[in-house]
């Protein structure tokens, strides 16, 4: 289906989400942080189609800018999904959506 990259999840959630997404036919890349090149030689920044970013108190949002940058994701029309565990201010959420990010409260 699609190549998905996960960012900012804790180890257990990352493992569980990877398993869940792979069971649905996606290829999942983990273990990367913004600014790093992909350690897994099977993937490059040009492959990532959907980036899923966990935004919690422990993983602040400045990383999102780096994730959306061309250095990390460079496929055609990649989608960045920001998963929030707390509500963002309406202004901030609107700013993110206008920059093309998707926001999910889950």
Partner 1 sequence: MHDLRAIADRVDVLALSLRRLRQQGPRFRIQHAFWQPGTGGCKPGEEIASVSLLFRNRLFHVPLSAAQRILFDFLARQKSTPRSAKQIAVGIRHSIFHREHGRNTGILLVRKFAASTVKEYIKRLRQSLAICFDEAGLRMDPKRVVVSQQTTGNEVHYLLRARCEWLHVEMNSKGLL
Q: How far is the CB of 2 from partner 1 (least distance, A)?
A: 4
Contact residues: partner 1, CB under 8 A: 1-2, 4, 9, 13, 16-17, 20-21, 24, 26, 49-50, 52, 54, 76-77, 79, 81, 83, 85, 97-98, 100, 102, 104, 106
Q: How far is the CB of 94 from partner 1 (least distance, A)?
A: 12
Rounded Cα distance between 5 and 73, Å, is 9
DSSP per-residue letters across 73-104: --SSS-EEEEEESSPPPHHHHHHHHHTT-EEE
Q: CB–CB of 85/41 below 8 Å?
A: no
Q: How far is the CB of 71 from partner 1 (least distance, A)?
A: 15
């Amino acid at each position: 289906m699609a190549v998905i990259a996960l960012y900012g999840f804790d180890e257990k959630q990352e493992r569980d989400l990877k398993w869940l997404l792979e069971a649905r036919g996606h290829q999942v890349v983990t273990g990367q942080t913004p600014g790093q090149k992909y350690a897994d030689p099977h993937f490059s920044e040009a492959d990532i189609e959907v980036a899923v970013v966990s935004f919690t108190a422990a993983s602040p949002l400045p990383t999102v800018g780096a994730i959306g940058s061309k250095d990390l994701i460079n496929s055609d029309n990649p989608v960045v999904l920001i998963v929030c565990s707390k509500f963002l201010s309406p202004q901030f959420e609107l700013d993110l959506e206008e920059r093309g990010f998707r926001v999910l409260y889950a």
